[in-house]
Amino acid sequence: MSDSSNDASGSGAGSSAGGSSGAAVGQLGSSSQLGAQQAAPSLPVLPPFASAQAQPRKSLFDTFPLVEASTLLEVARHELRPMDLRKLDSKLRDKADDEGSLGSFVPRASSSKDYPSLTTVISPLTLYFRILTQSASSGGKVDIVADLTSGLFAYIDHLHFLNSRYDWSAVLQYHMAFHGLRRRDMINGVYDGWAKVDQELWTLHLWSHERAKRPVATAFSGSASKGKRLPMEQQPLLANVCTNAGNATLRNTRRRPAQRRQSEEMAEQERRDRSRNIFEQDVVNIDVSADIDAIGP
């Protein structure tokens, strides 16, 4: 009887010990999780986007009244080819016919003659991007509009980078090809390609077309020969440099007569020594021949 009671008490003690150890492990796990949560940095809470009362949405035709309706439809339908970017060039509006239509102009491929620099492309390209984002916002898909807008800004920055590294004619060809691929993507509903770099087009159009490095301008390469004036704060420095250079040239000029005289004296002394050696050798030869004649055969 006593043995059974002892066993019961022992088992009770064991179960209580196991329960207490399990509780301790549970508390340890919860405390470690709590410590990990406390150690993780918390991100700041972004404020909600505040805006005034939304105005009635304008159509593309009302938003861009100076652009032909047919051109707006081509942009919205992704039918405007890269070579037809000229339709959005404000310079062509001055060449329009009496009815204000650009349809009389025969479309042709854009070249470096039409766009001799990046600045001449940015204006119609920016207008194209504005029409594109305005058209995309009418679909109500905020994530697509955000990706498209971010990609367009990134692409403009990328064009500036390429223009600083490579010849503009090669950059223009890269842009036309890249725009054509993005147009095909947008027809298929893909709008996140503008922020990506196409390595294949990079190699095809930009390889070995790096800009030539410009020589570093020096103080003496400057303004006097080209008729350009330096800023006032740099003119005293240039004057001091020119004065020091002039003094050094004057000193070298004064040293030249003495150096020339010394060189002439050394040359004259060398000529005299050579003549003396030749004369002495001739005298020796004459003496030897005289001795031979005196001895006889």
Domain ranges (residues) in the chain: 60-206, 229-297
Query: Between 221 and 63, whose confidence is greater?
Result: 63
Residues 6+ away with beta carbon under 8 Å from 114: 86, 89, 120
Read off φ and ψ for residue 97, nearest 5 degrees.
-80, -175
- Is pLDDT of 181 > 80? yes
CA dihedral 78, 82, 87, 88 (to 10 degrees): 80
pLDDT score at 276: 67
Query: Between 241 and 137, whose confidence is greater?
Result: 137
> Which residues, listed in sequence order, are joined to residue 166 by a DSSP beta bridge?
210
pLDDT score at 285: 56
pLDDT score at 258: 67
Highest mean pLDDT (candidates 100-109, 139-148, 252-261, 272-281)? 139-148
**Considering only 16-30, 124-138, 223-237, which range has the smallest mean pLDDT?**
16-30
3-class DSSP state of 20: helix
Element (DSSP H or E) covering residue 16: helix 2-39
Highest mean pLDDT (candidates 88-97, 221-230, 237-246)? 88-97
Contact 163, 209 (CB under 8 A): no
The percent of residues above 90 in pLDDT, for the chain, comes to 38
Average pLDDT for 29-42: 59
pTM: 0.55
Query: Between 239 and 74, whose confidence is greater?
Result: 74
Q: How far apart are CA 263 and CA 275, in angstroms?
A: 18
Q: How far apart are CA 34 and CA 61, in angstroms?
A: 58
The whole-angstrom distance between residue 7's C-alpha and the CA centroid of its chain comes to: 84
